[in-house]
Amino acid sequence: MVRRIEKDATRFKHIVRSQIRKDLKKYISRGELIGRKGKNLVSIPLPQIDIPHFRYGIKERGGVGQGEGEAGAVIGSDAAGTGPGAGDQPGEHILEVDITLDELAELLGEELQLPNIQPRGASRIVAEKDKYSQIRRTGPESLRHFKRTYKEALKRQIASGTYDPANPIIIPIREDKRYRSWRTTYRPESNAVIIYMMDVSGSMGAEQKEMVRIEAFWIDTWLQHNYKNLERRHIVHDAAAKEVSEDIFYHIRESGGTRISSAYTLCNQLIDERYSPAAWNIYPFHFSDGDNWGSDDTQECVNLLRNSLLKKVNMFCYGQVKSAYGSGKFIKDLQEALGNEENLMMSEINDKEEIVDSIRTFLGKGK
Amino acid sequence: MNLTPELNYIREEIEGYARGYGLDFFRVIFEVLEFDEMNEIAAYGGYPTRYPHWRWGMEYDHLSKGYAYGLQKIYEMVINNDPCYAYLLHGNALVDQKIVMAHVFGHADFFKNNYWFSRTNRKMMDEIANHATRMNRHVSRYGQDRVESFVDQALSLENLIDYHAPFIKRKESMRVSDLEEQKEETPHARRLKSKPYMESFINPAEVLRAEEERIRETTRRRKRAFPEEPEKDVLYFLQEYAPLERWERDVLSIVREEAYYYAPQAQTKIMNEGWAAYWHSKIMTEKALTDDEIIDYADHHSGTLGAQPGSLNPYKVGIELFRDIEDRWNRGKFGKEYDECDDMESKRRWDKNLGLGREKIFEVRRVHNDVTFIDTFLTPEFVEAQKLFVYGYDKATGNYVILDRDFHGVKQKLLFTLTNCGQPHIEITDANHKNRGELYLVHRHEGIDLKHDWAQDTLKNLAAIWHRPVHLETIVEAKGKLISFDGSEITEEPIKPESEPAPQAPEQ
């Protein structure tokens, strides 16, 4: 039965969705959703959905409470979001709605008009899966289908006249027994790996990393939506590269010089070791401020890209965030050398407002 | 689902006890609901059918999540109607159902007998269903988006009602004699007392003439004033005078009627819950509990009455105050002699064996609302025993901190948060502002500013209904301000604080 409230609940969801969609660009550039991510849900504050009234601000209002404590004792705080005494006063909590990451990705896709990703070589990568969808007459007792067995026994007993409605005891014999059985199905599987690389040399400041982090959040969300099985690896580099955990990735700060080729070499190595292009969709993302140590190293990067990386990956994305110290030359060099490679995406991110455009550049091709 | 035979047996038992104690209620119909049905009905404010609106969906979403995460569970719900409808949650333990039933009879008695509920529609079940039908008709005729956005605008003003309006005789019933009274009176300027030879100095003729002229002018203005007196029932005023289509007027009247129906419940939150808690406790501990239920009962009872640190639980304050009143009237701790006694020790031991307690609390539940309840019966001893305190927001640290535990402070703050149901006092003073049909509202500022962004948004909604510019006179950070919305943009202008005693007829 469809219950009455479903209609209102659907309406509410619709309003939430359109409100989020309207404000999506704001959410993207402010990055405020990152801390609000649970396993599958993001909780989004949407105070503008609430119906406004003439009412007092809670902060100014104060009130009466009950309990222990001397004058001056703290009973709640803004930071913890625990205003006191607001229990039965409606509308004083900030309205937050939870939406799934999948829904968020859909909204992102709709708003930025991102095409669905066509997994590379989807048909080549096949996974087996057993599905219990059949019934057999033989099998292990652990798979016995109780209902079917009972039915068979009942049929037999009625047909043979041994069924007594006054004493309806059903005793199945061996011929009555039915067992669940499986069928193996083959489905194309799509595995993907994102390899994030970031320049952590001295010239990359907190602001630059914040931008990278925001962008990575949305890339994750989108690719997660498109690939069931998504892995993520993180590589940081200055003059040398190493693999780190996600947490360290965003917080580490080194002071050395910059050799981008070190990261590309490590990335290439990772792919060869673990992610065969036949089985994986591979997405390396590299963020730096565009400073590299000498043109020799840049040349080496170009060679690495042209000769190995670009042949293995779905696309290779390079995002150049603006910093006060970086020369921003690297993107120009890449453009010159590899400008006509189809699966090399490049974008410059000068401030947070441009993150949206950068995401569109990276994900807009549907690769 | 109706009551199972077992539950029905319990109901009869508990109802017997309740009547035995003198509780007097409409017939109570219990229904057993699954948790999702319970959430649905709770989202609809206790009614099985409401007009379509996303806000119910939002509430339902909120309740379902709270239930799914184990944060909250609705045990009981009861609606003010004749007969009373009450809902039990399927799957609750038997002892819980007993508590809930006893609690419900307390509410039912309160609904029927409390004066502030006396003007509520006792056939609200039908009325609310009618509202849904009417609203659905509007939706099918004018489209969901259009109706919905108008409902949103109307709901934005739903707290702009006059809580005493149901008890006020409406102006329509003006009699001819009222018209007689309005006859032109010659204005008399007040003269200062003087000796005859000083008269022309103390009361100079030109000053008297000017004063007479001023009086004449104000009377003239007042007569032309519209509304004649400041109107607090803003929804009523809009429903009568705003240039609206008929269906819009109907939507306004639905919103207003429902707001008035729910108003007494907001006005008597502490009393109503306190009364119900008092009776479930009485009935359970004196009559209905079996030995093996004691622990579960104690657990759930204390859960209901427990207060989170720093918050005020209406159940707790209510039940304790009712018990305190009963105790005081049993022992005669009231009246001149008691009040004038200075010796704390003998005050504490005071006992005249009057035994008037039970009678007194029944009287209290009949005539009081939360404001008068607290105003009349809150005592310094009670504030101390219940550890009540005033808290405030500390801007420097972003914390809420305890300010003090002084009786007068607590009482004043508590009364303030209860007065007008904690809603700001806002009224229409002029509906023809600047002689251009603009709507002028005054916020009677009582020391606390409005939530600013919401005030602006609400003003926009008001303008959408009034179809002319609207103004709100208020105080923001100790400075008089006139917030206006002319249909396209919000403007804010400082005004002098002297205009605080409402311009009956603002400057033309």
Predicted complex ipTM:
0.83
pLDDT in tens, B194-232: 888 888 888 888 888 888 888 887 777 766 778 888 899
Which residue would you say has higher pLDDT here, B153 or B446?
Answer: B153
Q: B227: exposed, middle or buried (C-beta count within 10 Å: 0-12, 13-18, 19+)?
A: middle
CATH architecture designation of domain B5-114+268-299: Orthogonal Bundle (1.10)
Q: Do B57 and A9 touch (CB under 8 A)?
A: yes
State the amino acid at position A222 in one-letter form.
Answer: W
**Is A185 a residue whose pLDDT tops 50?**
yes
A149 and A237 share a domain?
no
Range of the domain at A278: 191-363
Question: Among A57-71, B331-345, B361-375, which is the least confidently predicted range?
Answer: A57-71
Q: Is A147 inside any structural domain?
A: yes
Interface check for B417 against chain A (CB to CB < 8 A): the answer is yes
**Is B328 a residue whose pLDDT tops 90?**
yes
Calculate the alpha carbon distances from B376 to A168, B27, B238, B321, B369 in Å. Answer: 71, 32, 36, 11, 10
Per cent of chain B over pLDDT 90 is 61
**Is B278 a residue whose pLDDT tops 90?**
yes
B109 C-beta neighbours (distance < 10 Å), count: 25
A206 and A342 share a domain?
yes
**Is A85 a residue whose pLDDT tops 50?**
no
Interface check for A55 against chain B (CB to CB < 8 A): the answer is yes
Q: Is A121 inside any structural domain?
A: no
B346 C-beta neighbours (distance < 10 Å), count: 10
Which residue would you say has higher pLDDT here, B191 or B242?
Answer: B242
Q: What residues in B contact A66, CB-CB < 8 Å?
A: 307, 310-313, 316-317, 386-389
| H or E element at residue A180 | strand A179-188
**Is A49 a residue whose pLDDT tops 70?**
yes
Last residue of a domain, one of A186, A205, A237: A186
Q: Spell out the domain ranges in chain B.
A: 5-114+268-299, 125-162+233-266, 163-168+197-231+424-508, 306-419
pLDDT in tens, A341-350: 888 889 988 8
Out of B44, B402, B449, name the one closest to residue A69 (CB).
B402
pLDDT for B348: 85
Q: How far apart are CA B165 and CA A299, in angstroms?
A: 83
Q: Do A57 and B400 touch (CB under 8 A)?
A: no
B251 C-beta neighbours (distance < 10 Å), count: 24
Please state the domain count of chain A.
Answer: 3
Half-sphere exposure of A151 (CA within 13 A, CB side): 7
pLDDT for B103: 95
> How large is the average pLDDT for residues B10-21?
96
Q: Are strands B470-476 and B438-443 parallel, antiparallel or unpaired?
A: parallel
A135 and A104 share a domain?
no
pLDDT in tens, B38-86: 999 999 999 988 999 999 998 898 888 888 887 777 878 999 999 999 9
Asked if B276 and B107 touch (Cβ cutoff 8 Å), the reply is yes
Interface check for A87 against chain B (CB to CB < 8 A): the answer is yes
pLDDT for A1: 53
Confidence label for A125 from pLDDT (cuts 50, 70 and 90): low
pLDDT in tens, B378-437: 999 999 999 999 988 888 887 888 888 999 999 999 999 898 888 999 999 999 898 899
Interface check for A80 against chain B (CB to CB < 8 A): the answer is no
A104 and A45 share a domain?
yes
> How large is the average pLDDT for residues B244-264?
95
Burial A111-123 (b: 16+ CB within 10 A, else e): bbebeebebbeee
Cis status, amide bond into B227, omega within 30 of 0: yes
> How large is the average pLDDT for residues A122-144?
81
Interface check for A93 against chain B (CB to CB < 8 A): the answer is no
Which residue would you say has higher pLDDT here, B502 or A145?
Answer: A145
Q: Are strands B479-485 and B399-404 parallel, antiparallel or unpaired?
A: unpaired
Residue in the structure block whose two tokens are 């504030």: B383
For chain A, state the CA radius of gyration. Answer: 29
**Is B293 a residue whose pLDDT tops 50?**
yes
Q: How far apart are CA A189 and CA A126, in angstroms?
A: 5
pTM as predicted: 0.78
Three-state secondary structure readout of A333-352: HHHHHHCCCCCEEEEEECCH
Q: What is the three-class DSSP state of A183?
A: strand
A357 and A290 share a domain?
yes
Asked if B314 and B269 touch (Cβ cutoff 8 Å), the reply is yes
- The residue in chain B having the minimum alpha-carbon distance to the alpha carbon of residue A50 is B55
A218 and A348 share a domain?
yes
**Is A153 a residue whose pLDDT tops 80?**
yes
A136 and A265 share a domain?
no
Asked if A47 and A95 touch (Cβ cutoff 8 Å), the reply is yes
pLDDT in tens, A190-223: 788 999 999 888 778 888 888 888 888 888 888 8
**Is A260 a residue whose pLDDT tops 70?**
yes
Q: Do A66 and B386 touch (CB under 8 A)?
A: yes
Q: A204: left (phi > 0), else alpha (psi -120 to 50), else beta?
A: beta
A141 and A224 share a domain?
no
pLDDT for B160: 94
**Is A87 a residue whose pLDDT tops 50?**
no
Asked if B380 and B325 touch (Cβ cutoff 8 Å), the reply is no
Q: Is A57 inside any structural domain?
A: no
Half-sphere exposure of A92 (CA within 13 A, CB side): 21
pLDDT in tens, B154-179: 999 999 999 888 887 655 555 555 55
Q: Is A14 inside any structural domain?
A: yes
Burial A165-174 (b: 16+ CB within 10 A, else e): eeeeebebee
Interface check for B478 against chain A (CB to CB < 8 A): the answer is no
Q: Is A275 inside any structural domain?
A: yes
Longest Cα–Cα distance in chain A: 95
A172 and A234 share a domain?
no
A204 and A299 share a domain?
yes
Calculate the alpha carbon distances from B435 to A43, B218, B225, B484, B490 in Å. Answer: 49, 16, 10, 16, 20
Of chain B, the end-to-end C-alpha distance in Å amounts to 64
Q: Do A76 and B399 touch (CB under 8 A)?
A: yes
Calculate the alpha carbon distances from A34 to A43, A48, A215, A220 in Å. Answer: 10, 20, 10, 11
> How large is the average pLDDT for residues B23-45?
93
Q: How far apart are CA B471 and CA B482, in angstroms?
A: 7
Q: How far apart are CA B267 and CA B232, in angstroms?
A: 17
pLDDT for A90: 35
Interface check for B403 against chain A (CB to CB < 8 A): the answer is yes
pLDDT for A93: 55
Q: Do A56 and B458 touch (CB under 8 A)?
A: no
**Is B505 a residue whose pLDDT tops 50?**
no
* Alpha carbon of A306: minimum distance to chain B alpha carbons (Å): 52
Q: How far apart are CA A76 and CA B398, in angstroms?
A: 9
> Which residues contact residue B381 at a Cβ distance below 8 angstroms, ignoring those fewer than 6 apart?
none
| H or E element at residue A265 | helix A260-274
Q: Is A295 inside any structural domain?
A: yes
Closest CA to B251 of B141, B166, B138, B161: B138
Q: What is the mean pLDDT of chain A?
A: 83
> Which residues contact residue A256 at a Cβ distance below 8 angstroms, ignoring those fewer than 6 apart?
A201, A202, A238, A239, A240
A109 and A137 share a domain?
no
**Is B256 a residue whose pLDDT tops 60?**
yes
Last residue of a domain, one of A84, A113, A142: A113
State the amino acid at position B199 in one-letter form.
Answer: E
Calculate the alpha carbon distances from B330 to B319, B351, B365 in Å. Answer: 16, 8, 17
A225 and A359 share a domain?
yes
Q: What residues in A contact B457, CB-CB < 8 Å?
A: 52
| H or E element at residue A12 | helix A4-30
pLDDT for A325: 72
